[in-house]
Amino acid sequence: MRPIIGITTYVESATWGVWRDLPTTLIPHDYVAAVSQAGGRPVLLPEHEDTDVLGMLDGLVLAGGPDLDPRFYGAEPEPLTVTRPDRDRAEMLLARRALDMEVPVLGICRGMQLLTVAAGGTLHQHLPDVLGHEKHRPAPGVYGEHDASFEPGSRIAGLMGDDLAIRCFHHQGVADAGKLTVTGRAEDGLAEAVEDPDRRFVLGVQWHPEVVRDERLFGALVAAARQHRSS
């Protein structure tokens, strides 16, 4: 049986067929396809503040999405910060409980930021104010392309090998990684990967590996999920 991988979801207004602007629980199909292609059984997780579902999961993907509420790291929202409070509360509970239970976790974009804040870290709320450029979110729907550098001996360095190209889309970023270790950076010094070397599998990446169905990262999550199931 394939390991069961939960994927967090959005609630957004969506239109399809004869239906218009309905509040809808959804996630880009790339996440589902990437987990399935890597050998996992994807299960979508709607917003819910009950974390008991983790007892049925072998691994967890914290997906991308809107900004995380700055109050989780002791700051007030800035003008360009856009949050989803219900999702923030539910996913913060889920992330913290997953860490406590040693459930393997892969955080993607917002998911990496969520992992960081769950581990006591903080975020920059608008990167152009800090970095002086828009290269991490160059235009609506356009990914920023970077060459990252990875810490030798880290999990992400072992997974990525000589392939340093990443594609990202975000206007916030990690300021302080808290208890996590920054193991990857963009050329401007911004954290692009974090991990917890003391846990079985806790990895966050600021880019979007699901878009290219990157089996290195999703395969590593599935492998850790198999170990979690058998332990």
Active site residues: 109, 208, 210
C-beta neighbour count of 17 within 10 angstroms: 5
